[in-house]
Structure 1
Amino acid sequence: MGQLMHVYRDKYEEYEKRHNNLFPKMREALKDAGAHNYSIFLDKETGNLFAYLEVDDVEKYNAIAESEECKKWWAYMEPIMDTNEDKSPVTLDLHEVFHLD
Structure 2
Amino acid sequence: MSSSTPAPQRVCFQLQVHPDRLEEYTRRHAAVWPEMLQAIADAGRRNYSLFLRPDGLLIGYYETDDDEAAQRALAADPRTAAWEAEMAPFFVALDGARPDQGAPQLTEVFNLEDQLAALDDEPGPTPPA
TM-score, structure 2 normalization: 0.70
Structure 1, unpaired ranges of 5+: none
Match of residue 82 from structure 2: 72
Specify the SS of the correspondent of 1:12: helix
Structure 2, unpaired ranges of 5+: 1-10, 114-129
What per-residue deviation string (whole Å, max 9, x for no partner) do you get for residues 28-85 of structure 1?
01001111111111111x3110001111221221111232122111111122223332
Correspondence for 2:25 among 10, 15, 33: 15
Q: CA RMSD in A?
A: 1.4
**Moved beyond 6 Å, runs of 4+:** none
Count how many residue pairs are aligned between Structure 1 and Structure 2. 99
Alpha-carbon distance between aligned partners in 1 of 2:29 and 2:69, rounded to the nearest angstrom: 22
Higher-Rg member (1/2) = 2
Counterpart amino acid of residue 48 in structure 2? Y
Larger RCO (alpha carbons 8 Å, 6+ apart): 1
Correspondence for 2:70 among 61, 73, 80: 61
Alpha-carbon distance between aligned partners in 1 of 2:30 and 2:68, rounded to the nearest angstrom: 26
Counterpart amino acid of residue 96 in structure 2? E
Pairing 1:1-101 to 2, within 5 Å after superposition: 1-44=11-54, 46-63=55-72, 64-82=74-92, 83-86=94-97, 88-89=98-99, 90-101=102-113
Alpha-carbon distance between aligned partners in 2 of 1:73 and 1:31, rounded to the nearest angstrom: 15
Alpha-carbon distance between aligned partners in 2 of 1:49 and 1:30, rounded to the nearest angstrom: 18
Which structure: greater strand fraction? 1
